[in-house]
Amino acid sequence: MSLARNIFRLNRGLFMTKPQISVLMPVKNAGPLLEDVLFGIAAQEGVAFELIIVDSGSSDGTLERVKTFADEAAFPVKVLSIEPAEFGHGKTRNFLARHARGDVLVYLTHDASPASKHWLAHHLEHYRNPKVGLVFGSQLPRPDAHPTVRAELISFFSGFAHNGAPTVYATEEGKGVDRSGAATDAIMRFNSNANASYRQEAWREINFRDVSYSEDQLAAQDILKAGWHKVFEPRAAVLHSHNFGTWGFFQRYVDEWHGMYQAFGHVEVKRFWHLPLRMARTARTNLRYLRNDPRLTSLQRMLWWPRVILHAKARELGGYIGPRLEKLPPNLARRLSREHKLINK
């Protein structure tokens, strides 16, 4: 931890007063990426912050590693614990917020590493505007990300930026607003607590809902309805990608679309016979990104074709099953859900 001590000494003077920001992170069996995430937080410059972590029953040494980190840190680190059965995406983040002292609440997941030493500063700068209640940042692929994962992330998050710049969303047009629309529209309400911040006043007004999934998008919708602005800040980026196998991606898509159905009544694939055409379209889009990936040779692109096609099938089949998950036998539904496995392992 000698590197950590050096970083902490550089920042020591910032943490003598009330923090501007509270970084809030739920953890459970975080694995080897945890150290990278913690060092990324410790390296932040130009802002005073505290870190509050809640563990929900880790069995892999995560809690012990976090406590060691807290003992060495020159900035405030609070480590909390809850029973696994007490965890909920919304209620656990409310629990973290109630322990926070910062004016801005920044949520991070234990597998999302800050991409630069100015990650927090880029979040914080938008709160100079008193109308801003929420800021969410980019999620970039890790260097080892599979080509399909890389393409999906870059394509998805680039769609939120207005000419590549920070973009302000609000329900009504006005000065400084780049995109306006109904709070219920998909692009308006999109948000991810893998990398998002909230003005504490806005959080107090809405609180996270106690739901099994999509608490972040519901929060964005509620914040917009309450009259606050939402900002997408591409510079406030984290490295956050997963190289699951085809089955793992399928389970994740099942959970995502199940959550969207529970939160918003959204059904991604409305009819079973729509699947072949949707799979073909998704595969075609992914293959186009694969052909344009400069990191790959022609042979590597060819070898990735089958995996890309399987990924497209997993995505669309997950979109069909997710909204219908509760209609399946309970044992089968649990097997198809990655979220159930993560919470209960």
pLDDT by residue (tens digit) across 226-276? Answer: 999 999 999 999 999 998 889 999 999 999 999 889 888 999 999 999 999
Mean pLDDT of 190-205: 97
Residue with token string 């992914």: 286
CA distance 27 to 81: 10
Could you tell me the sign of the dihedral formed by the alpha carbons of 65, 342, 259, 159, in that order?
positive
Mean pLDDT of the chain: 90
pLDDT by residue (tens digit) across 295-335? Answer: 889 999 899 999 989 999 999 999 999 999 999 999 999 99
**Structure confidence at residue 11 as a pLDDT band (50, 70, 90):** very low
Least reliable range by pLDDT among 3-12, 42-51, 246-255: 3-12
Rg (CA), the chain: 20
Domain boundaries in the chain?
Answer: 2-239, 246-344
Could you tell me the sign of the dihedral formed by the alpha carbons of 26, 112, 318, 341, in that order?
negative
Mean pLDDT of 37-58: 95
The domain 2-239 is placed in CATH, from the list 3.30.70.100, 3.40.50.1100, 3.30.1490.20, 3.90.550.10, at 3.90.550.10
Using alpha carbons, list the distances in angstroms from residue 106 to 122, 135, 206, 254, 270: 11, 9, 16, 27, 36
Q: How far out from the chain centre does Cα 275 lie?
A: 28
pTM of the model: 0.89
* H-helix segments, the chain: 2-11, 33-42, 62-72, 89-98, 119-125, 147-158, 186-189, 200-206, 215-225, 246-264, 275-291, 298-321, 330-336, 338-344
Q: Which two tokens stand for residue 319?
A: 């979109």
Using alpha carbons, list the distances in angstroms from residue 38 to 34, 61, 75, 178, 240: 6, 15, 12, 34, 14
Of the candidates 45, 46, 48, the residue with the CA atom closest to the CA atom of residue 23: 48
Q: Which two tokens stand for residue 163?
A: 């000419």
Using alpha carbons, list the distances in angstroms from residue 61 to 287, 293, 342: 40, 38, 16
